[in-house]
Each structure stands twice: as C-alpha cells, then as structure tokens.
A and B are shown apart, each in its own frame.
Chain A
Amino acid sequence: MANIGLYIELKDGVFKKSNRELLSLARKSGQSVHAVLFCPDVQPYLEEMKGIQTVIQVKGADLSYQPDRYARTLAAVIQEFKLDIFCGIFSAQGKDLFPRLAAKAKASLVNDCLAVDLDKRRAIKPVYSGKLLAEYQIDAGTTLFTIRPNVIAVDAAVAANTPEIKTVAMDSGDLQTKIVSVQKSASKKIDLTEAEIIVSGGRAMKGKENFAILEDLAKVLNAGVGASRAAVDAGFASSDMQVGQTGKVVNPKLYIACGISGAIQHFVGMKTSKIIVAVNKDPEAPIFKKADYGIVGDLFTIVPLLKEEFKKALS
C-alpha cells in the first residue's frame, strides 16, 4: 500500500476549506493517509482528520511561514514517513512551497490538478489556461501534486477511526529567501481563487468609481469582485482583480459577468464556474453563448436591481 502525505494548509490557524478536498481525494484512494499540520495544537483540527491513519504535527517555537524552513521540514517528513505521494492545495502558499519541496525531496511535481489517480500516478491539469486538458503520467519515485481549489467533491469521512498523532520538529536552519513582513490589504478582499461567488466587471463599467455598484452587490452575496483584462488595462480595477489567462483562474459556484464581452482569454479564466450569469447591453456579445443565464440590458440598471432582489432572496 502506498503512503499518501497531505499538506494541510492553515491560514492564521484557520483550516482552509480546500483541505477537505485533499482529505476526500486521499481517503477515497484507500491508501494509508498521513496529514501534516504546522500548529501548536492539533486538537481543533482532529474532527476533520477522521478516517486517516496519521496526523503529523510539526512543532516549533516559530511556526510562521518561511518557505525554506517549511520545505526542509516537509522533505524530512517525506523521508521519515516514507511518503510516496504528497499533495497540497494550489494556493498562493502552495505555489511557493511545492516547487521548493519538489527540489528538496528530489520529487516530480504536477501543479493545479483537476483530477488525480493516486494509484496510477496520473493527473489531469488544465494547459493553455484551460483551453485544453493534459493528462500526465509520473514515473516511479516521490511524486507531488497540487490540487486546484473548488474542484474535487468533498465527502464526509465515513470511517470514524481517529488517527494516531505523531510529532516532528520544525526546521530552524538558515533562510535564503526571507519573508521579513506581511502587509495586510487595507480592505480585506475575498480571495478570488477560493471564492464561492464572484461578481466581475468589464470595459462597460466605464470607470473605476463605478466598481462601487459591483462591490455593493458583492457585499450582499459575500462575493469577491473581479475584472476583465480590458477593465484592468483601462485602470478601472487593480491587477490582482483580473480574471483570465493573464490573471487569476477562478471556479466559484456562481460567476456574474457584468459588461464583459467574453473574449477567449477572459473565458478561460472562469469557464469552470458552476453557473455563469452574463449581463450585457449587446445581445450579440460572445459571453451569452457561454453563460448559463443571461440578461440583455444596461448593467447600470440591472446590477442595482440584482442587489435588491438577492437581498430579498437571502433574507
């Protein structure tokens, strides 16, 4: 039986919901599953860990994220626990950590997987920004996969066995790449790559100040606010809001595109959304061919109406 390792990502101590996707994927494989958590106390997370074999707690005086130390610690865990496959989330941290870990553990890595066959060491990931899918076969040897958030179906643990807890020490060696501080954003934005609902604006927003109507709608839906490349290039929105081939790839359950024509480079960034809604004045806009539901109309009329209607529906 193969040993599957999971990197359980905690964000300021909060269990990221995508961890459940990792746990579901690993439990379903029927292999021996070992989850690694960097935390002073594993108790708050044990309920989520049911049905796996081992919880490996990394302990240390300073558990703050430093890529070199995290990578060395995990490489040591992979060796000590003889992990054949190690998986994490394709999050901001996963993107930084897993390539380092691949190098240190002399492992192969496939990032941003939509599906993984842990038995056959095969993974499917989007390429050309999702215009195509690629299936990869990885040779024998330690293999790492990162999983795109919001893709894998989450199953509750059926087996009620409580995992055995083991501890390892955090690496405290030198830092080549040193994080000296973390600057929080003034307005705490909802992370688009993990958002459940996204409201996005395009060139038809006409100006930066008009994004306020999208933010009002987003507030009602507890949604993130995105933008098309045209809107970002026109200076209406910041580049961290861009959805599309040269921006973020998102897959919320609901994506509301307002005044976005639906160019291919935008579409590939949001097409895996469960439901796409388009609001556009132009009935010929390509976005209507791709949306599940569309309303032809002026976004400046429709968006405020939507806000009121959602408010009613959700109250």
Chain B
Amino acid sequence: MNIYVCIKQVPDTEATILVKDGKSINETAIKWIVSPYDEYAIEEALKLKEKLPGSTVTAVCLGPERVHNALRTALAMGADRAVHVESSVALDSQNTALALAQVIRADKEFGVIFMGKQAIDDDASQLHILLAEELAIPAATHVMAFAFDGGKVRVEREIDEGAREVIEMAVPCVVAAAKGLNTPRYASMMGIMKAKKIEIKKITLDSIGISETQNKVHLLKLSTPAEKPQGRVIRGEPAAAVQELVRLLREEAKVL
C-alpha cells in the first residue's frame, strides 16, 4: 500500500512563544519539533507498512526550508520518501488541504493517509477532514485505536465521558491520530544515517496552483493573553489551611 503521513513542524511544547510584530512569532530562540500528534501518525503508518510487505510510507510536509528537519525525522523513524511542499507564506486550512490533496492525488494508488488530529501551533483542528473531503474519501478524527483487516480500516474514536465510537472505512481514507494511539519509536542510528541519503522531493506552491491570495481566513492579530495576578499561599497547619481554603472558595471566589 502507498501509505501517506502528513506532518507539520511546530515550536517545542515547552517553548515560550513571543509575538513579534503583532502577526507573527519571534522564531529566534525556538526549537522546532514534529507536532506531537503527527508523531503518533508516523508511528501508525510505519506499523501498517510492517504489516503489509511491499508498502511504502511517504511523509509530506508544507512549510519553509526548516521543515526539512521534520521530514528527516520521519525518514529516520522509517519513512521511505519525503515530499516538501515549499511555502514561506501561511495558508489557511482550506488552502493547505488543497495543496496536500494535489500532492497525494498525483499518486493514483494512495492508501491510508495518517496525520495528527491537530497541529499544536494554530490548533485549527480541521485539516485532516478537509483533506479527506477534497479527495472524496472517508475520515476519522481523534483516533485512539487503528486496525486494518480484510481491506477495511476499523478505528476507535474517543468521544465524551470516556466512550468510544467504532468506525469502519474503506481504503483510501484519512486517519487523524490522538494521544494514546501508540508510542512513537525513536529513530535508530542506522535510520538516521539512511535518512541522510534519501533525497527530499520539492514541490512549489506555484506548480500546484496554490497561492495565499486564495486564503479566506486571515490572521489580523496575535496577542499574549492577560496574565492572572499572582494568588496567595495559605499558611498554617494542614487542617487549618484546608479549612481556610474552603472558606475562601465559598465566600471570596464563590465557586462552590
């Protein structure tokens, strides 16, 4: 099967994010990582490849030059091919879905497409389904369990109150990973060496007819939310402190 995994490069989860000019972030001190949910997607793609001999995993990433590192990470983990859709501009979700669809559609025999349920930068939480709709194929999001059997995909999706929906889909389809799906592997030294030798295929937005002028959702402003004023620590013996805390929650904070 020609398995795809769409990934995004984002700032590390521990990074402090500072606004630069009201519309972008200060990138100087940022450590970039593969978005954590996309790591689960890579892992599941590799597991499926291991189950289906002769399969390949192609990682696709849209972004500026620096995203090569994200693609190298996917290759080092075990992906076979990497495609870099070169874009130094921000595309809205719909436009990104169009771009990814163009790349994947060029492969007439694409199978399961894995990706994270959201990227932890813009947290737009819609690209996976927009991509599936653009390709006219089924999609499941927030996937906690994945199985491929008898030509069919069966997944479990977490919903409210710990319940899970069991979903069946034909292939090709899009599977959007959530935490709990698997434990992503670390790249082996051999994997890292191998990854260095694989050529990353480059595709320009121009060549697939995508431009940011087609965006319909425009970022007006980025801002830092107001910080809470520092609270107070309640001193005293445990029993007295607890009593005072509950009194404050009831009388001052009025949350009980």
> How close is B189's CB to chain A, nearest CB, in angstroms?
24
In the bound complex, what is the Cα–Cα distance between A271 and B224 (angstroms)?
13
In the complex, the chain A residue whose C-beta lies closest to that of B248 is A293
Q: Say whether B126 contacts A271, CB under 8 Å.
A: no
Given contacts A133-B225, A191-B160, A309-B242, contact A122 B220 (CB under 8 A): yes
Q: In the assembled complex, which residues on chain B have CB atoms less than 8 Å from the CB atom of A43? A: none
In the bound complex, residues from chain A placing their C-beta under 8 Å from that of B255 are 197, 253-254, 274-275
- The residue that B220 contacts in the complex, of A103, A137, A301, with Cβ under 8 A, is A137
Residue of B nearest to A126 (CB): B123
Would you give the shortest CB distance from B102 to chain A, in whole angstroms? 16
A134 in contact with B222 (CB, 8 Å)? yes
Q: State whether A136 and B120 are in contact (beta carbons under 8 Å apart), knowing that A112-B125, A277-B249 are contacts in the complex.
A: no
Of residues A132, A187, A254, which shows the largest number of chain B Cβ atoms within 10 Å of its Cβ?
A132
Of B123, B158, B167, B216, the contact of A138 (CB 8 Å cutoff): B216
For A141, the chain B residues whose CB sits under 8 A away are: 216
Partner of B239, one of A112, A290, A292, A305: A305
Contact A128 B180 (CB under 8 A): no
Contact between A182 and B165 (Cβ–Cβ < 8 Å)? yes
The CA of A311 and the CA of B60, in the complex, are separated in Å by: 54
Residues of B within 8 A of A265 (CB): 13-14
- Collect the chain B residues with CB atoms within 8 Å of residue A132's CB: 17, 19, 25, 222-225
Chain B residue at minimum C-beta to C-beta distance from A271: B228
What band does the interface of chain B fall in when counting residues whose beta carbon is under 8 Å from A? Answer: 35 or more
Closest chain A CB from B149 CB (angstroms): 13
Contact partner of B17 (CB less than 8 A), chosen from A90, A92, A128, is A128
Chain B proximity mask over A238-267: 1 for CB below 8 Å, otherwise 0: 111010011100000110000000011100
Range class of the A interface residue count:
35 or more
Closest to A303 in B: B242
Which of B1-9, B61-69, B136-144, B197-205 lies at the binding interface? B136-144
Q: What chain A residues lie within 8 Å of B144 (beta carbons)?
A: 239-240
Q: Are A180 and B166 in contact (CB under 8 A)?
A: yes
With A292-B231, A295-B233: A185-B220 Cβ-Cβ less than 8 Å: no
What are 8 residue pairs bridging A and B, where the CB atoms are less than 8 Å apart in the complex? A92-B159, A126-B123, A135-B219, A135-B220, A136-B220, A177-B138, A182-B164, A240-B158
Q: Which residues of B contact A (CB under 8 A)?
A: 11, 13-14, 16-17, 19, 25, 36-37, 92-94, 117, 120-126, 128-130, 133-134, 137-142, 144, 156-170, 173, 178-180, 216-225, 228, 230-235, 238-239, 241-243, 245-246, 248-250, 253, 255-256
Give 4 closest A-B pairs by Cβ, nearest first. A185-B162, A103-B133, A99-B129, A239-B180
A: which residues have CB within 8 A of B? 11, 68, 90-93, 95-96, 98-100, 102-104, 108-112, 122, 125-139, 141, 176-185, 187-191, 194, 197, 232, 238-240, 242, 245-247, 253-254, 263-265, 271, 274-277, 283, 288-297, 301-302, 305-306, 309-310, 312-314
